Structure 1
Amino acid sequence: MIPTPDLSHLKRADYEHVYEPAEDTFILLDALEEDASALLEAKPLVCLEIGSGSGCVSSFVGSILGSSCLCISTDINHHAALATLRTGSQNKTAIDSVIANLTSPLRTRLRHNIDLLVFNPPYVPTVDEEVCDAQGGRNIEGSWAGGKDGMQVTDMVLDQLDDLLSPQGRFYLVAVKENDVPGIQGRMLNRYGFQSEVVLQRRAGREHLYVVRFVR
């Protein structure tokens, strides 16, 4: 069993600005742990987590893959980018943390070079204006406000996926039932030819959580 990263360095004041790991975080860790052997066998060279928050997931990935993989994270929230650096240091995992909107400064340089892409998006359905305010404010609200069907931010990443993933790349996406997971899978297959599988699902309070794995 791969231990959950140590987050004892993050205090209550940090979580006023940074998303605190919750059930959606832990189902993603569990999915990555289930696939750990396959990930190691694939020998990924570049991993990117979009929206790193506390850095829990990036640090977990780093503990699986070791120093042979370049682990990069992005977050629009500068508090989250700093927290991710601190979490990497606390857990002795090297993470290059970048303040960025999704993949904006990396898309050209990393085109078709990302072997492992991970995204726990803002998936809560809200009015579209709330997404614009949250993303524009670059604060903690950006970690959960998802717009219509909770898909406004996720759709931006899905539309970039074909440019981002390497030929052998894997993409792990967290979603909820309201996001229409079968619809996402069908669209990505028909539009881009991506195969996908729900690797884990569970109920957490009122949410029905999924982790979907996409490959070429």
Structure 2
Amino acid sequence: MIPTPDLSHLTAADYEHVYEPAEDTFILLDALEQDADELREVKPRVCLEIGSGSGCVSSFVGAILGNSCLYLSTDINPFAASCTQRTARQNKRTIDPIVASLAGPLRTRLHRNIDLLIFNPPYVPTHDEEAYSAQSTADLAGAWAGGASGMQITDVLLNDLDNLLSPTGRFYLVAVKQNDVPGIQKRMEEFGFRSEVSDMALQILD
């Protein structure tokens, strides 16, 4: 069993601005651990976590893959970038956090070169205005306010997936029933991807 990363350095003050790992986080960790042997076998070179928050997930992936991979993360929240870097240090990992939306400034340089893409998105259905406001303020609400059907932010990334994933790339996405998981899968099939559902984590394979 791969231990959950040490987050003892994060405080209540940190969690006022950054999403505290919860059930959805641990379901994602379980899905990654379940696929640990397969992930090691495909030998990812570039891993990108979008919306890294506390840095828990990227540090966990680092425990699976070791130092053979370049670990990048993005988050619109500067507090999250700081927490991710601190969590990496606490767990003796190397992660390069970037303050950006989705793949942002990495899209061109990493065009079809991301081997492992991970996203625990803001999936809670809200009014679109609330989601726009949450993204604009770039604070804690940006981690959960997902707009109509909870898909406002996720839809943007799904439409760009073919430009990001490498030929052997894998994408892990957390979703809930209101996000219409079968609908997501159907869209991905139309784009030429296949997918598998494990509890709440939807895995999309190139």
- Gaps (5+ residues) in structure 1? 202-209
Match of 1:214 in 2: 204
Deviation at 1:187, TM superposition (A): 1.0
Deviation at 1:79, TM superposition (A): 0.2
Q: Does 1:106 align with 2:106?
A: yes
Question: Deviations 1:144-188 (Å, cap 9, x if unpaired)?
Answer: 000000000000110110000000000000000000000000011
Cα distance in 1 for residues equivalent to 2:103 and 2:140 = 18
Cα distance in 1 for residues equivalent to 2:90 and 2:156 = 32
Q: Does 1:193 align with 2:183?
A: no
Cα distance in 2 for residues equivalent to 1:76 and 1:36 = 28
Match of 1:204 in 2: none
Output the amino acid matched with 1:100: A
Match of 1:26 in 2: 26
Structure 1 length-normalised TM = 0.95
Match of 1:156 in 2: 156
Alignment of 1:159-174 (within 5 A): 159-174=159-174
Alignment of 1:59-70 (within 5 A): 59-70=59-70
Cα distance in 2 for residues equivalent to 1:20 and 1:211 = 18
Output the amino acid matched with 1:184: I
State the 4+ residue runs in structure 1 displaced beyond 4 angstroms. Answer: none
- Gaps (5+ residues) in structure 2? none
Secondary structure (helix, strand or coil) at the match of 1:82 reads helix
Cα distance in 2 for residues equivalent to 1:47 and 1:187 = 23
- Identity within the alignment, %: 68
Output the amino acid matched with 1:63: A
Over the residues paired in the alignment, what is the CA RMSD in angstroms?
0.5
Cα distance in 1 for residues equivalent to 2:62 and 2:73 = 11
Higher strand proportion, which one?
1
Cα distance in 1 for residues equivalent to 2:81 and 2:8 = 17
Match of 1:40 in 2: 40
Cα distance in 1 for residues equivalent to 2:55 and 2:145 = 19
Question: Deviations 1:22-64 (Å, cap 9, x if unpaired)?
Answer: 0000000000000000000000000000000000000000111
Cα distance in 1 for residues equivalent to 2:102 and 2:167 = 21
Secondary structure (helix, strand or coil) at the match of 1:79 reads helix
Secondary structure (helix, strand or coil) at the match of 1:21 reads coil
